[in-house]
Structures are given as C-alpha cells and as structure tokens.
Amino acid sequence: MSSPPSALDDGQELSTQGKSFNLTDIIMTNHVKIFDTTLRDGEQAPGFSMTSGQKLKMAKALEGLGVDIMEAGFAAASPGDFEAIKTIATEVKDSIVCSLARCNEGDIRASGEAIKPAAKSGRGGRIHTFIATSPLHREFKLKMSMDEIVRRATAGIELARQYTDDVEFSCEDAIRTERDYLKRVVEAAIKAGATTINIPDTVGYTTPEEIQSLFEFLASDIEGADSVTFSAHCHDDLGLAVANSLAAVRGGARQVECALNGIGERAGNCALEEVAMALRTRKDFFGLSTQLKTEGLYGASKLLATITGNPVPRNKAIVGKNAFAHESGIHQHGVLANRETYEIMKPEDVGVSTDNLVLGKHSGRAALKNRAETLGFELGDNQLQSLFVKFKHLADEKKEVFDADIEALILGEAVGEIGPWALESLYVSAGSDDGKRPVATVRLHHEDGRKETWSQEAAGPVNATFLAISHITGQPLHLDSFSVQSVTEGEDAMAEASVMVSTEFSSYHGRGTSTDTVLAGARAYLDVINRIERRADRQKSIAAQH
C-alpha cells in the first residue's frame, strides 16, 4: 500500500495568489501548540459555567494533559473570573496561563493583573486581545471604521506588552474579513508586538480548502510572518471545526485553539481530543506533533462532564463510551483476532480501559467465550452453546449484558433477583424544610433466616437508604456512579436505577426498577451487594474444593 502524501513532504510547492513558495522553508517547527480554551470559550456556552474551584480543578487536569497554553477566562467579565484566572496563574506551573481581553484599556489591565502571578514566577502569562475585523462586525457591532480598528488593535497590543512579552492578537470573524484588510490588521498587530496571531472562524463558516489557503496566504504574504506563531480558532457550526483546524495546520498554523469535549459557543469549538489524536494517529500524513499526554484525555473529558453536568454522547469520537466498544459479532470476532481490524488507535493511548467489548444482542459466540474466559470460566463447546442461547434471551431484554449477568448465567442463576439479601420494606421521610434531615428505615432478610432493620439519617433520601443497607449487610461501598432513568412513559413511569461500584478486585453493576425512584435505587444497591456476596461465596467454595 503506498503511503498518503505528507503535509510536509520535502519541497512541497504551494501556490498562493500566483506566488510559489516552499512551506518547509517558512514553517520551521513541527510542534503544534495546543491552546486550550475550555475555561474561556468553553465555559461561556450556556450550561457550562463553572465555579472558581471547579475551574481550578479543570486547570490542573489540563496542565496534567500537557496543554501548552490554557485560556483561563476573561478577566474583565466578572470579579469571580478575575480571581479564578489569578488563582490558576498562581497554581499552574507547566502551562502558560492566558486571559482574554477586548482591545480596551480596562480589559487589558484586568488581564495583565490577573496573569501577574504567572508573569512574576518567570513562567510568563499571556494576554489574548481581540477585535472584530469583518464588515458585518465593523458596521453593525463595533460601529468603527477600518482605521479605528487598526488603531485600537495597535494600542491594545502595545498596552498588553507592558504586562507581558507573550501577547496574542485575534481578528474576530477573520474568515469573513476581506483579505487585503486582514493583511493590513495582522501586519499592524505584528509591528505593535503581538507574538501570536490568531485567525478565528468565529461563526464556523469556513471549509478546509478555504482556511488552508488563507493560512498559506498569511505565511507567504504577511510582513513579519516568520516572527510570529499563526493560530487557528475554529467553531463547529457546520461540524467542520476539527477538519478546518487540521487544514489550517496544513496551511502553516502552529497553534490550534480547542476545548475538551468540543465545548464552546453555540455548536462548540474544535475538540481538543479529536485534533490531538488526529495529529498523533496520522503523523504519517501531517508530520507534526503535540506535547499532549494523550493517556489523560479520557479522564479529563470525564472530569469536565462531571463538573459541568453535561454527559459526553456515547458516539463522541475519542472519549465517547462507544469510541472503542464493539457489539457486533463480526467486529468482535475481528478485534479478538487483531484489534487493528476495527481500531485505528489504541484505547490505552487515550486512557480507555481495554476490556471494552460490549456484550448485547448483536454479539456472537467468540466474544461471549472470550468474556467468560476473562471472568475465569473455561467452557466446553456444549456449555458455550447452552450459555449462548440463555445469553441471547437475556440480551433481548437488556440493552447491555454486564459481567455479573454472565457470571449469573453461567452459574444458572436468574439475573439480579436472587439473594442472599432481600428487601422486605423501605420507608423514607424526606422533603420537609424544618431542618430535619431525611431518614430511611430499611428492613432486609437474609436467606439464612436473619431479619434486620436499621434507620439512617443522611443529607438525602437515597444516601440514607444506601447507608442503611450498608449498615445491615456490613458492606460499606464506594459508589462510582448512581443514575436513574425513566424506562416507560407517563406519570407512573417505571424508573430504572443503576449503581456502579468498584472494589479492590472487580467492578459491579446493579440494577433495580420501581415506580418509586428511591426504591429503584435501593434495589440496585442491594443487587450489587448480592453480587459481591455471591461471588465471595463462590470463591470460598472453589477454594474449598482445591
């Protein structure tokens, strides 16, 4: 198979506006800087705002990922954002911390003050100042002439340079700006001292070919181009943000602005995890690297989803639950033979665990046998066939078949129903605002005849219920997740609760259903405890046999 042409093939001739030049002569570095804007453009989207503490937590995760620059906020936006940037600039050691500012004195001074802790420590902080340049924004939004915008940009950059040597300038809505005028603004910005020139596709309007040619034009036609880093900032209104960012890089951009999970204004920004893994996976094509520790991508993405309360869609590239999951028999068969049949990246390279064949109704014998073996069961052909029949029946009823379900099938048990513990009654008092905490009274009975009741107070009714169950069973569990979803429609909808728990040795998933959500939760929690106890019993009897 012949390899695809690299973006940086030696001697690649580019033609822009009738001129010819060699891109490798102009772009000396193969390092693409990752400028993360999760905490600024990402946070400014509805439903994604974070407290200062949450921003710091995310900032630490981004630092751990190895982003070159993190835009921590917009210092003039609010006292809270100012303080958050200042704290991040104090705490973050390995990434450059940046604040956004309009081209006006107040914003730039606020940004300069906010990043001072980073500047003082010698690491340096960045001020990112911007002004719109397109005709629409000039006429209707800013109501400024072309000359006035150039004056504002120049003055803003000069002021920013009094605080830091690291000044980024953005021509907002650059894509819809006349090329001649864009050239004029960018040249003025470079003369005024900007060290990074960002070309935003503010409204997600461009196409890969168009943006690549624009960056080639900048690299070849702008005076002072070789003294600055060109940067792309693409929005996803047409679903092209990642493709456009990669095309910009092919055109000469050496900084990509992006956000985890692709969050950002409207449809979002270029997704950090996607652009980073595209550069890594297709290094043969792009010939470029980032300094990201991509193994942290999945964890950082999950942290962001948890902090903002916005789950990552299952089918999201790189970090979605399905990104490395295979349910179809033919795919599973291929992956078991050689992962590369259906995987272009290693799950562990983005921090996803490798045990990810999802068993469901489309799965085949190969995957079932493999999972049974992973769980420690060697099956003969007849046993596998009989298990497969039971498994298919179960998969028709359940969306996903978990390890514990398979264990139960192999051992001939009904799924999620059999003890040793059974819930006899649950009574919960909650909802008053008279200062009393919710109380759950739980009565369980064990198959050995024991019956026990316990009342527990806690911050919430579900928490109180779980604590009471743990008290009776002697199983204090650490929850990985608890969720409830409606599985039928109408006022008496059936709720399905799902509980995930990790112990030292394994993960357990329990389910419970009821029209009462707290009762569904109690059943799911008890389901987990029963699974743990049954497994322990099994292991004891296996040990006794040997």
Ligand X SMILES: CC(C)C(=O)C(=O)O
Ligand Y SMILES: CC(=O)SCCNC(=O)CCNC(=O)[C@H](O)C(C)(C)COP(=O)(O)OP(=O)(O)OC[C@H]1O[C@@H](n2cnc3c(N)ncnc32)[C@H](O)[C@@H]1OP(=O)(O)O
Q: Footprint of ligand Y on this chain (CB under 6 A)?
A: 41, 44, 74, 76-77, 102-104, 130-131, 141-142, 172, 202, 265
Nearest to 39 by CA among 21, 54, 27: 54
* Partner interacting with residue 250 (select from ligand X, ligand Y, none; CB below 5-8 Å by kind): none
Closest approach of ligand X to the CB of residue 466, in Å: 44
Closest approach of ligand Y to the CB of residue 74, in Å: 5
* Partner interacting with residue 233 (select from ligand X, ligand Y, none; CB below 5-8 Å by kind): ligand X
**What residue numbers does the annotated binding site for Mn(2+) cover?**
41, 233, 235, 269
Lookup result for tokens 């956000």: 259
* Partner interacting with residue 104 (select from ligand Y, ligand X, none; CB below 5-8 Å by kind): ligand Y
**CA dist list (Å): 477 to 112, 233, 405, 512:** 48, 45, 20, 17
Question: 478 is written with which tokens?
Answer: 């650490």
* Partner interacting with residue 76 (select from ligand Y, ligand X, none; CB below 5-8 Å by kind): ligand Y
| Rounded CA separation 436/201 (Å) | 54
* Partner interacting with residue 77 (select from ligand X, ligand Y, none; CB below 5-8 Å by kind): ligand Y
Residue nearest to ligand X (CB): 200
Residue ranges in contact with ligand X by CB under 6 A: 41, 100, 130, 170, 172, 198, 200, 202, 233, 235
Q: Concatenated DSSP letters for 55-68?
A: HHHHHHHHHHHT-S
Handedness of CA 426, 430, 431, 432 (dihedral sign): positive
Residues near 69 by beta carbon (within 8 Å), at least 6 away in sequence: 33, 34, 35, 36, 95, 96, 97, 98, 126, 255
Please say which residue, 266 or 283, places its beta carbon nearer to ligand X.
266
* Partner interacting with residue 198 (select from ligand X, ligand Y, none; CB below 5-8 Å by kind): ligand X
Closest approach of ligand Y to the CB of residue 100, in Å: 6
Q: Concatenated DSSP letters for 358-379?
A: -BSTT--HHHHHHHHHHTT---
CB 239 within 8 A of CB 275: no
Please say which residue, 208 or 268, places its beta carbon nearer to ligand Y.
268
Question: 459 is written with which tokens?
Answer: 């911050």
H or E element at residue 131:
strand 125-132
H or E element at residue 221:
helix 208-221
Closest approach of ligand Y to the CB of residue 101, in Å: 8
Please say which residue, 175 or 358, places its beta carbon nearer to ligand Y.
175
CB 323 within 8 A of CB 365: no
Please, which residues bridge with residue 421 across strands?
A: 446
Please say which residue, 38 or 198, places its beta carbon nearer to ligand X.
198
| Rounded CA separation 208/412 (Å) | 57
**Number of residues assigned to the chain:** 546
Closest approach of ligand X to the CB of residue 81, in Å: 15
Ramachandran category for residue 197: left, alpha or beta (phi over 0 → left; psi -120 to 50 → alpha): beta
Please say which residue, 74 or 215, places its beta carbon nearer to ligand Y.
74
| Rounded CA separation 443/14 (Å) | 77
**What residue numbers does the annotated binding site cover?**
41, 233, 235, 269
Handedness of CA 239, 243, 246, 247 (dihedral sign): negative
* Partner interacting with residue 294 (select from ligand X, ligand Y, none; CB below 5-8 Å by kind): none
Q: Are strands 166-172 and 125-132 parallel, antiparallel or unpaired?
A: parallel
Closest approach of ligand X to the CB of residue 291, in Å: 22
Please say which residue, 200 or 351, places its beta carbon nearer to ligand Y.
200
* Partner interacting with residue 102 (select from ligand X, ligand Y, none; CB below 5-8 Å by kind): ligand Y
* Partner interacting with residue 438 (select from ligand X, ligand Y, none; CB below 5-8 Å by kind): none
H or E element at residue 192:
helix 179-192
Please say which residue, 111 or 530, places its beta carbon nearer to ligand Y.
111
| Rounded CA separation 288/140 (Å) | 40
Please say which residue, 151 or 361, places its beta carbon nearer to ligand Y.
151
Burial (Cβ within 10 Å: 0-12, 13-18, ≥19) of residue 418? middle
Q: Which residues of 469-485 are buried (b: 16+ CB within 10 A; e: fewer)?
A: bbebbebebeeeebebe
Nearest to 166 by CA among 201, 122, 207: 122
Closest approach of ligand Y to the CB of residue 249, in Å: 21
Closest approach of ligand X to the CB of residue 319, in Å: 23
| Rounded CA separation 499/525 (Å) | 6
Closest approach of ligand X to the CB of residue 63, in Å: 21
Radius of gyration in angstroms for the set of CA atoms belonging to the chain, rounded to a whole number: 29
Please say which residue, 41 or 274, places its beta carbon nearer to ligand X.
41
Closest approach of ligand X to the CB of residue 226, in Å: 23
* Partner interacting with residue 538 (select from ligand X, ligand Y, none; CB below 5-8 Å by kind): none
Closest approach of ligand X to the CB of residue 235, in Å: 6
Please say which residue, 134 or 220, places its beta carbon nearer to ligand Y.
134
∠ Cα 124 128 132 (to 5°): 170
Please say which residue, 267 or 418, places its beta carbon nearer to ligand X.
267
